[in-house]
Structure 1
Amino acid sequence: MEPTIKKVSITALAMLLMAGLISNTACSAPSAPSPTEAPAVNLPSVDRSAGAGARASLNEITGELVLPMSAYWYSDRENVIVNSAVASLIFDCVEEAGFTVAPWGGGGKALQDGRYGQWSRKLAAKNGALPEIRIIAGVLDEQPERPVLSAEHQAAETKCTNSVERAGLPELLEGLVGDTSVQNQITRNAVALTERDPEYLTFRQDWENCLAENGLALTEQGSWSLQSGGTKEGEIRVALLEVDCKDSSGGARKPYDILAEYQAAQMKDHQAELNALAEEKADAVERAKQILRDHGVADARL
């Protein structure tokens, strides 16, 4: 799938920024494990009732999902701010090397979460099973694409990208490869625990039964994706039936609320670490904002 943010250039710098500014890059809902074959991971013993009352926030219009652990990751907006600050420092380095760099707007796009398929009736009627795309405004006005850079200019950008790296600003994004942080462990554990939860499994089975009664079939066992006729109208019809079946099985938001409770239940044992992380995140965002202010970005854009 093509990246869904505008390229800055064809250099390593552009690749760094695109990787940081796009969220939830899957084009379709990720396949879920079979209800009878959850992934083999070592899970802690977690009493879901310890997180009772925690709920997911699902925006039916924008497709945005907020879970208890979302407070410890950069929001889409914060991610744009932090990555734009890093880009500004890289551009300073490139200019010090004698090359002119045009300002970049730094906007991004974020995709609706689809780990449990389509959950918004409004978005199903608009997009079928495809995720809604949210536009995240940049901190500067968009600029025309730059022409192809000289080899020397590209080399300078690569060198500066490697030397600046993250400029000491943490990359607080869910699901990064190799991330062993407490927040990522809590998040991953919650997903796996949800897939083993009896209420989740009942919901899933009732949903599959409803699909079968309506003549619908999964693309593969354990998936949250459904087969459709291929036309836009057919995809929308199937997506609406998918949501209908979820509603009749306990509500389209149920798996997300179960996930939220497993997150909240684990957070109680790690609150001191999470409090420190929240401070680290707040400090990083404020430092990024100050970097951008120093580069002429008005507070109204932050």
Structure 2
Amino acid sequence: MRSPTFHSVSAVAATLAVVVLAGVACSDPPASSPTATTTVSLPAVDRAAGAGARADLKESTGEVVLPMSAYWYSDRENVLVNTAVAFLIYDCVEDAGFTVAPWGGGGKALQDGRYGQWSRPLAARNGAMPEIREIPGVMDEQPERPALSADHQAAETKCSNSVGRAGLPELLDGLAGDASLQNQITRNAVALTELDSEYLAYRKSWEECLATKGIKLSEQGSWSLQSSGSREDGIRVALLDLDCKDASGGARKPYDILAEYQAAQMMDHQAELNALAEEKADAVVRAKQILRDHGVADARL
């Protein structure tokens, strides 16, 4: 068992980061247009089969919890698993004869903004800018590590490649190239939502309301809006945006439609999803044990 030291590896900086839920841009990415969506092959899904499913919109943090969220790592679980992987890479680097400098271990995640701003308290504080959630690490924040020699950097790269994920799955929504069942359900639900008649009527009403207030979309099909660029005007526009969403059925409506399309698909795959939930739970348990073996106290887990 390793001594309880806390180290960092620059080669795994991407591994250590919490994958952001709503993209990294300050404005929301444009929504896919209905025309583009119709070119995608989609399953026939009866939304009514998922009736009653709802999104949990956490207004204080900007987090959105959907039915499929149970099969992805939470922000906290992601930090635990990624830090456990990092510790195994640190071990490899130390075995190669290098001393590895400390790292803080925390992460950040952005407010979900796929349908624009939806939280009035956050709009009043941030405008359309996403709220940033700080995810505590398993250790105290550490000073920046010194520059590394070429040999040290090569050892970190080699260890990162050889350790990989160490058998701990990367269960994160929206990873490029992910053909997993849970990602297929999630992608299908997004596309089906954008074709849904209730969603389209909601969006049409919202756009018409914005027009009466002199507010323009950043681009066609987008959920982001034009403003002067000042903080004050950004807040003004975001609050008017929410006024129009409320007048059209509420800012949560597209998320609830999305939740129903997720839930409707889940019914046909519950056995597979149950197995996935067990895999996720096992990965978190194993990650916590790896962290304990490296001296992390249970209070930090």
Deviations 1:10-68 (A, max 9, x none): x42223333xx232342221101234553521100000010000000001111011000
Tell me the percent identity: 76
SS at match of 1:135: strand
Cα distance in structure 1, aligned partners of 2:123 and 2:209 = 18
C-alpha deviation, 1:293, in angstroms: 0.4
C-alpha deviation, 1:239, in angstroms: 0.3
Pair 1:160-2:149 in alignment? no
Cα distance in structure 2, aligned partners of 1:68 and 1:151 = 46
Partner of 1:23: 20
Which piece of structure 1 moves more, 266-275 or 103-112?
103-112
Which piece of structure 1 moves more, 29-38 or 236-245?
29-38
Partner of 1:212: 211
**8 A contact 1:102–1:143 mirrored in 2:** no
Deviations 1:65-115 (A, max 9, x none): 100000000000000000000000000111111111133231100000111
C-alpha spacing 1:39/1:142, structure 2 compared with 1 (3 Å):
farther
**Equivalent position amino acid for 1:224 in 2:** W
Provide the TM-score with structure 1 as the length reference: 0.94
**8 A contact 1:207–1:249 mirrored in 2:** yes
SS at match of 1:65: strand
Partner of 2:13: 14
* RMSD after superposition: 1.2
Partner of 1:149: 148
**Equivalent position amino acid for 2:19 in 1:** I
**8 A contact 2:101–2:146 mirrored in 1:** no
Cα distance in structure 2, aligned partners of 1:255 and 1:233 = 27
After TM superposition, the runs of 4+ consecutive aligned structure 1 residues lying more than 6 A away are none
C-alpha deviation, 1:175, in angstroms: 1.0
**Equivalent position amino acid for 2:245 in 1:** K
- Count of residues in correspondence between the two structures: 292
Pair 1:119-2:118 in alignment? yes
Cα distance in structure 1, aligned partners of 2:154 and 2:166 = 19
**8 A contact 1:218–1:225 mirrored in 2:** yes
Cα distance in structure 1, aligned partners of 2:53 and 2:66 = 9
Partner of 2:293: 294
Q: Trace 1:62-141 onto structure 2 (pairs within 5 A).
A: 62-141=61-140
Deviations 1:117-136 (A, max 9, x none): 00001101100101000000
Partner of 2:195: 196
**Equivalent position amino acid for 1:74 in 2:** Y
Unaligned runs of 5+ residues in structure 2 are 1-7
Cα distance in structure 1, aligned partners of 2:56 and 2:164 = 34
Deviations 1:246-285 (A, max 9, x none): 0000000000000000000000000000000000000000
**Equivalent position amino acid for 1:138 in 2:** G
SS at match of 1:22: coil
Cα distance in structure 1, aligned partners of 2:136 and 2:38 = 37
C-alpha deviation, 1:138, in angstroms: 0.3
Provide the TM-score with structure 2 as the length reference: 0.94
Cα distance in structure 2, aligned partners of 1:39 and 1:238 = 31
Cα distance in structure 1, aligned partners of 2:271 and 2:298 = 32
C-alpha deviation, 1:230, in angstroms: 1.3
Unaligned runs of 5+ residues in structure 1 are 1-7
